[in-house]
Structure 1
Amino acid sequence: MSSEYIEFGGKKSTDFYLVIQKDGVQISQPEENRIEATLPFMNGFYDFSKMAGERTYKQRDITIKFSLSAKDENELYHRKCDVVRWLSGAKDELRISFLTDYHFVGATAVFDTSAFEFTSRRTADLTVNFKTYPFLRSDDYSDIGFDDFNFETDYLNLTDISLTAVKQTRYAPPATLKVYSYADRPIRTRLSYKRSEDDTKSVGFTYFALNDEEISASVYRNTEKEFDLDELTLQPGVNTLAAYGFGTLTLKLYEEAL
């Protein structure tokens, strides 16, 4: 048996007397989505897998084998019921104790009561398969330590950073926000927009630019539901956003790894 554990749905596996078996965690590598098409009278095929500019992946599978024990058959039954209630129907972050800097998001547990294999009147084995978002997500997007941080020239990104537009006048400069991307490739971040009470005509941003290139798509939204924009793709290094108008745009920044 190992001393490792998982966290899911706000609770740890040890809260339910579950012990991860030795070598009981298998984390698969997500498969790449392949989108191929052929045309009549054509040799070979077209590969549309990278039409959006980057590869996409199927969900990731994580299989975990647990052991469960109790003092008697009745206690084992009740502990089994507690485990079923904990895992059933939940969708949440999944953390595995030996992955200290990363976690999985959008995880759901796939199992049923037949997944319990009773090895004696007081012990049982349980195999749970988790389906998750394909990328690991970092617990802290920033990787600059304060010992090396220059408060005048460096940029420190945590998870959410916001840009509030200013009303355009003849001499007023636009509101600006500098974002440093640690990624080694362009990334399209998730966004949310909060409308301004002063925006009585639902205008949103009247001017919006990334690195001096104007973005034509509207950022106005009636709700703060997350969305993304094809034109808002952050490049490696420093990115400068500028805006006139009304409302606040929040960028959801995460470091991800396969």
Structure 2
Amino acid sequence: MKFLNNDYSFRELGPIKADPEYLENAEYIDFAGFNSSDYDWWLIERTATTPEEQEITESVPYMQGEYDFSMYDQERFFKIRELTYKFVYFGKVYQDRKAYEEELKRQLLPHGFTKLIDSHDPVYYWSAKCTSVEVEDDQEKGMLTATITFKAYPFAYTNHNEGTDYWDDVAFDHWIWQPVKFNVNGDQDVNVKNIGSRPVECSFQLTGSVTLKNDSIGEVGLTQDNFKTTTIVLEMGDNKMHLSGNGTIEFQFKREEMI
């Protein structure tokens, strides 16, 4: 084999004097003002078990199976659910790791049910409270492992009211764009859809005077005197209503999702 050009030069590769590139701590939880990534906690594991149903059953002698009375008005009801997160913190000095453990408990345990944000589901948040913080210290590796458990309402809430479509908060696999504010001048029919996992309570913003009516809620008259204290329940799916009067009406509600 003949080489046409063998003019090669070589040099020694010495140590590289450059700052190391660190991975971004992108996964986090945010609870009562505590953001885990701000405190150098690295999320390595999360467990969100499905909530247990509040079952009401009855067995009858000489009957196969049992009667299940758990549903009411075509809705299933669930117990509180459990969310568990495992974090690690890297610190060579034992006293630093100890301080991080104490600060973690101070930040999480004093609070009752409040908003829990999980970067895994950025469109939603949980209503939760921290029930335990268990910590293991590894002196050899200079690592602290914390297992944090929350009790949470069984359904997650959307971050914003329906119709407030922030681009960063859109879950394209499960989302609709729909008007929830209507100008009323006389009579008109509207359909407010609830694509969530259960019926939800809906409040209002109002100008003028508007009456709404459908088969499930009957007739509700809204005025400047009562709209702030009036709510209705929006069923899952379509909520077709007849509006009459003069003014503007905005339906305000957040979806509740079983995720």
Asked if these proteins are the same fold (TM beyond 0.5), I'd say yes
Q: Distance in 1 between matches of 2:199 and 2:232?
A: 7
Shift, 1:93, TM fit: 2.8
> Aligned equivalents of 2:113 and 2:196: distance in 1?
30
* 1:56 Cα offset (Å): 1.9
**1:207-226 pair list within 5 angstroms:** 207-210=211-214, 215=218, 224=228
Quote the offset at 1:82 in angstroms: 2.0
In the alignment, does 2:195 pair up with 1:183? yes
1:95 is aligned to 2:117: yes
Q: Which residue identity is paired with 2:147?
A: T
Once the two structures are superposed, residues 124-144 of structure 1 have per-residue CA deviations (whole angstroms, 9 ceiling, x without a partner) of 211111222222344465699
CA distance in 1, matches of 2:165, 2:206: 32
Determine the C-alpha separation between the residues in 2 that align with 1:74 and 1:103.
37
CA shift for structure 1 position 177: 7.1
Pick aligned residue for 1:173 from 175, 186, 209 = 186
Does residue 13 in structure 1 map to residue 15 in structure 2?
no
Q: 1:103 to 1:184 in 2, by over 3 A?
A: closer
How many angstroms apart in 2 are the aligned matches of 1:135 and 1:184? 10
Please give the secondary structure, in 2, of the residue aligned with 1:77. Answer: helix
Q: Structure 1 residues 78 and 90, CA, compared in 2 at 3 Å: closer, same or farther?
A: farther
Identify which of 63, 72, 80 aligns with 1:59: 80
* Structure 2 stretches lacking a partner, 5+ long: 1-22, 168-175
TM-score with structure 1 setting the length: 0.63
- Give distance in 1, aligned partners of 2:90 and 2:49: 28
Gap change, CA 1:37 and 1:234, over 3 Å in 2: same
1:96-135 equivalences in 2 (<5 Å): 96-100=118-122, 102-112=123-133, 115-120=134-139, 122-135=142-155
Provide the C-alpha distance between the structure 2 equivalents of 1:78 and 1:84, rounded to a whole number of angstroms: 10
Q: Which residue of 2 aligns with 1:151?
A: none
Return the alpha-carbon distance in structure 1 between the equivalents of residues 102 and 166 of structure 2.
45
CA distance in 2 between counterparts of 1:256 and 1:74 reads: 42
TM-score (norm: length of structure 2): 0.63
Q: 1:76 aligns with which of 92, 97, 112?
A: 97
Gaps of 5+ in 1: 147-154, 167-171, 199-203
Offset at residue 96 of structure 1 (A): 2.5
CA contact (8 A) 2:155 2:256 kept: no
CA distance in 2, matches of 1:226, 1:111: 39
